[in-house]
Chain A
Amino acid sequence: MKLQVVRARAERFGGIVELERPRALLHVDREMMRALGQPESDLWNGPEEGPLSAPREVHVVLSRKCAAGCKGCYVSATPDGAALSYDEACRILDELATMGVFHVALGGGEALELDYLFAVAAHARKVGITPNLTTSGLGLDERAAARCAVFGQINVSVDGVGKAYQEARGFDGFRHAEKALRLLRAVKPEVGVNCVVSRSSFQHLGEVARLVKSLDLNELELLRFKPVGRGASLAEELTLAQSKRIYPLARWLMLRHRVRVKLDCSFAPMVFFHKPSARAAAFFGVQGCVGGDVLAAVSPEGALMGCSFAGRAEADARVPGAMQQAWSKGFGEFRDFVKTAPAPCASCDYLQLCRGGCRAVAQAHGPFMSPDPGCPTVQAHQQRRSLPVVRALEA
């Protein structure tokens, strides 16, 4: 087996190497970069620690346009929502390519409603970035599916099977999503399902995993429900018992249905609660909030943020050079959490990996820099503090 390095980028610790087969991003040390014949970098003269020189992946929220009107939509999309123009999107991709970004995740809103989506994806390929897509699949026909070959990975949002889909999203769209999955799978193997795990949809995850297996899809990505956008008005956050169960359940679904299961970064506290090998987690990139470091987002209004769920606008991505300038100085609210972590995160063995869980969920309940209130360890800590005897002892 021979590996082919597609691209490489220098970092303080060494560099990031992109492989085509298997499709992977490898972090390697300085010696390996030299062994690969990469040129010496000024970054290698300083300490190895620090944020990345550019995000590895950027989520470009192309629009807030979507006709579906899902009741939990995190960008509050409407049929007339704002959108980046084709020219703006291409210019942003040009700058991201200059920065050395490897992947973009294109989404919305419903990105397929934009008649220039495929042109934007083709432009990303042209400048050396792999475009990926999330879609509801509504309205996708055979012709559009064929054009989706331009993307790396495509995931269709399926928050439940049959009636469970309607309960989760507020409209009957399951058969459209299933049809889209079949059409896309006929075109390429890198097709999967995104499933938002909420208090209500939790019990139906087995059916979704079965669907992924039956359609021969390559992954099931479980996304934690976050109370932002229209979702802020819903009481759908996981219960404590569900939060404790999600990681064992993900492993069980993987073994039972033999499908690849991924958890989004906001589930990190629920994973680390079960004390997995920290070395394995670090090696396989299992981390909590990596906003403003590994990850960044661009909103349909052009705002560069640490994450598409949370954080302030650090720059107007539509202004040439603004993203590059903001990257080196900004994003302190994301990057400084580990240094300033409050209890109980400060004493947690997994702080360096978990990084306090999800900032978007924390912000929805209180200060941006507070620990993720959905973390079982944080909940136990808060419960102890609320007991008068414990409070008296602590005093």
Chain B
Amino acid sequence: MRLRRGRVLQATFGCNPNSSSLGVDVTFLLFGATFASALAIVLGALLRKAPR
């Protein structure tokens, strides 16, 4: 049986200074779902190594 190791579900980068609405970064949409999946795996791996 493979142990579940936890996943990154969503990632938003930077801070939103806009006092009226939430800014969404469309830059990454260009790269599509494959890039999102790859980034989730990389971030997950790095996060598990993060100092506690």
Query: Taking beta carbons and an 8 Å cutoff, which residues of A are in contact with B?
Result: 1-5, 13-14, 17, 22-37, 57, 59-61, 74, 103, 105-108, 130, 132-134, 151-155, 190, 192, 194, 218-219, 221, 223, 247, 250-251, 254, 260-268, 271, 276-277, 279-287, 290, 294-295, 307-309
> Is A194 a contact partner of B9 (Cβ separation < 8 A)?
no
**Total B residues in contact with A, Cβ cutoff 8 Å:** 44
Ordered by A's residue number, 27 sampled pairs between the chains whose C-beta atoms are within 8 Å are A3-B49, A5-B50, A14-B6, A23-B15, A24-B11, A26-B8, A27-B10, A34-B6, A59-B18, A59-B19, A105-B16, A105-B17, A152-B15, A194-B17, A219-B14, A254-B27, A263-B23, A264-B18, A267-B24, A271-B24, A280-B31, A280-B35, A283-B10, A283-B39, A284-B28, A286-B29, A309-B21
A33, A281, A307: the one within 8 Å of B21 (CB): A307
If over half of B's interface residues share one DSSP class (helix, strand or loop), that class is named, otherwise mixed; here it is: mixed
B8, B9, B23, B50: the one within 8 Å of A221 (CB): B23
- Knowing A277-B32, A309-B21, say if A32 contacts B16 (CB, 8 Å): no
If over half of A's interface residues share one DSSP class (helix, strand or loop), that class is named, otherwise mixed; here it is: mixed
Chain B: CB-nearest residue to A14: B9
- Knowing A29-B6, A37-B52, A286-B26, say if A22 contacts B13 (CB, 8 Å): yes
B12, B25, B36, B46: the one within 8 Å of A3 (CB): B46
Query: Taking beta carbons and an 8 Å cutoff, which residues of B are in contact with A?
Result: 4-33, 35-37, 39-40, 43-44, 46-52
- Knowing A285-B24, A286-B29, say if A194 contacts B18 (CB, 8 Å): yes
A4, A24, A268, A283: the one within 8 Å of B51 (CB): A4
Chain B: CB-nearest residue to A135: B17
> Is B51 a contact partner of A2 (Cβ separation < 8 A)?
yes
B6, B20, B27: the one within 8 Å of A260 (CB): B27
Q: Which residues of B contact A37 (CB under 8 A)?
A: 52
Instruction: Say how far B23's CB is from chain A's closest CB, in angstroms.
Output: 4
